[in-house]
Amino acid sequence: MPLTKSANLEIVDYLLSAEREGYEVTKVTERYPDLTIDDAYSLQKQLIERKVQDGVKRVGVKLGLTSKAKQEMMGVHEAIYGYLTSDMLGLEWEPIVFNQLIHPKAEPEIAFLMGEDLCGTNLTEEDVLKAVKYVAPALEIIDSRYLDFKFTLPDVVADNCSSSRFIVGSNWIKPDQVNLANIGMVMSKNGEVATVGAGAAVLGHPAKAVAWAVNKLGEHKEGLKKGDIVLTGAVSEAISFRSGDSIHAQFADLGSVSFSCS
């Protein structure tokens, strides 16, 4: 049974309040166990629309579950997507404030900056790379609003895929100047290596993940816009951090990106 208008409003308010005030909530599916993926994407869109009404801007798209291992763990066969908004953008020289978050984790990613609009339902990774102006190292801070970071697939989609903050490094290069599938990455916490990864962890190639997202958005008559930032998916597992920690990700041939947490 489709969600009623009042249920939609209730869920969006529930998730927005948890994000803005920084507290954990129980899963939406505990109250609405029949919540579908289509319902969840509808809720996600309504949540973003509310944020835009409150003055933030949509600045791009983020991908999740781009690792085959994560998909198997969640029992799904494809990735998920959410939206990036202007209030999520962090800067390397400004510390992340820990008490504004709940249980954050850092994920190293390769960011795409779109040089032109891209929309359709049958696009390939080659189409994506033609439309990308620059690529850059990035760190995404995921911070699910759900208790103990535990959720079902519809829950996480409705919660805008655990989006919280993202930081993009200052080294922007043309995508044909680096092998995005083979690029290696080392992420450190407080100067000690925490995890390693490579671009191929993102569905074999980051552009393949973005092509999936564009085709999925195209089913809803949406797409990517010139100037959009796209976080293509984690190249390694996420790591937790707390106040006083610093996170640094070094990508071969692409440069580095970092943040500190106060």
Within 8 A by CB and 6+ apart from 123, the residues are 211, 214, 215, 218
Give the total number of structural domains in the chain: 1
> For position 148, what pLDDT does the model report?
92
Evaluated on CA atoms 116, 119, 120, 123, the torsion sign reads: positive
Instruction: Say how far apart CA 166 and CA 245 lie, in whole Å.
Output: 16
What amino acid is encoded at 254 in this protein? L
Give pLDDT tens digits along the chain (262 positions).
578 888 999 999 999 999 999 999 999 999 999 999 999 999 999 999 999 999 999 999 999 988 776 666 666 678 899 999 999 999 999 999 999 999 999 999 999 999 999 999 999 999 999 999 999 999 999 999 999 999 999 999 999 999 999 999 999 999 999 999 999 999 999 999 999 999 999 999 999 999 999 999 999 899 999 999 999 999 999 999 999 999 999 999 999 999 999 9
CATH number for position 129? 3.90.850.10
> For position 111, what pLDDT does the model report?
98
Give the chain's radius of gyration (CA, Å).
17
Q: Are 230 and 224 in contact (CB under 8 A)?
A: yes
Q: Which domain holds residue 46?
A: 5-260
SS3 assignment, position 247: strand
Report the chain's terminal Cα–Cα distance, integer Å: 45
Cβ-in-10-Å burial (0-12, 13-18, 19+) of 64 comes to: buried
Which pair of tokens denotes residue 229? Answer: 């930032």
> For position 71, what pLDDT does the model report?
64
> For position 252, what pLDDT does the model report?
96
Which pair of tokens denotes residue 55? Answer: 């003055």
> For position 74, what pLDDT does the model report?
65
Helices (H), the chain: 5-21, 28-31, 37-53, 68-74, 125-131, 153-158, 206-218
Which pair of tokens denotes residue 167? Answer: 């930081």
Q: Are 117 and 226 in contact (CB under 8 A)?
A: yes
SS3 assignment, position 42: helix
> For position 183, what pLDDT does the model report?
96
Within 8 A by CB and 6+ apart from 33, the residues are none
Q: Is the pTM of this model over 0.85?
A: yes
- Pairing verdict, β 58-64 and 229-234: parallel
